[in-house]
Structure 1
């Protein structure tokens, strides 16, 4: 008969399965979470803090009003579609290396600006920039 006391074993807590379960839950939550960035943004365009304006030797300035009318180099465009704008670029004798400067009103429809970009693409005018105002100038108005 062996009446000697046995040494007491300390219970071990195995953390590896617990960590595995937590990682699976974390991955599940990361994959199923939706982010609603766009509902939180309040945009006011076009205001930008930029360096001094550049002078381009060959520039075609296209103005877009708030109701979607266009002028190319100060000449009003009769239509509001891509073909009319493309014809206005041709009438303005825009060269392939000309820079198209889009001066759009802050409340101009987005489609109007896209129409200018599409007409420029059709005429092979690949250099496009946007005219903006500094935030200091915008505060004065």
Structure 2
């Protein structure tokens, strides 16, 4: 404790060790950063074969404002949507089914369509929305 002539205490924090530690950390980061970010330039060879088509492409079912159901670009009714999906996917039930539904479509039609898709055995269902 340091005392002045008037018996008042002076409380001071010694920041010198703090500054020393900060300078050491700054030097460490300045030295390590170029080492970590350096990379080796490599020119990769070109592939001659074509890539395989993705067998698990998402299936898109659209319902427009006229309550018409489209599987991809093909107009289908709710009763034969399962057969159309099995024909397109080769009975692969792992595909994701996306629903693009107009906002004026009644909820009952959407749920009925989802039930037909579930009865066909497709359980991975996703609803798409438009981002603002």
**Where on the TM-score scale, by shorter chain, does this alignment land: which range?**
0.5 to 0.7
Equivalent residue number for residue 25 of structure 1: none
The superposition leaves residues 68-125 of structure 1 with CA deviations (integer Å, 9 ceiling, x where unpaired) of 1111121111x3x3x2222222232252100000000011121221122111111111
Equivalent residue number for residue 63 of structure 2: 64
Equivalent residue number for residue 18 of structure 2: none
Does residue 89 (structure 1) correspond to residue 85 (structure 2)? The answer is yes
**CA RMSD of the aligned region, Å?**
1.9
Q: Bigger radius of gyration, 1 or 2?
A: 2
Equivalent residue number for residue 122 of structure 2: 125
Equivalent residue number for residue 106 of structure 1: 103
Runs of 4+ residues over 4 Å off in structure 1: none
Higher relative contact order (CA 8 A, sep 6+): 1
Aligned pairs for 1:1-20 within 5 A = none
- Cα distance between partner residues in 2 of 1:120 and 1:127: 10
Aligned pairs for 1:6-85 within 5 A = 57-77=56-76, 79=77, 81=78, 83-85=79-81
TM-score (norm 2): 0.52
CA deviation after TM superposition for structure 1 residue 129, in Å = 0.4
Does residue 116 (structure 1) correspond to residue 113 (structure 2)? The answer is yes
Aligned residues: 77
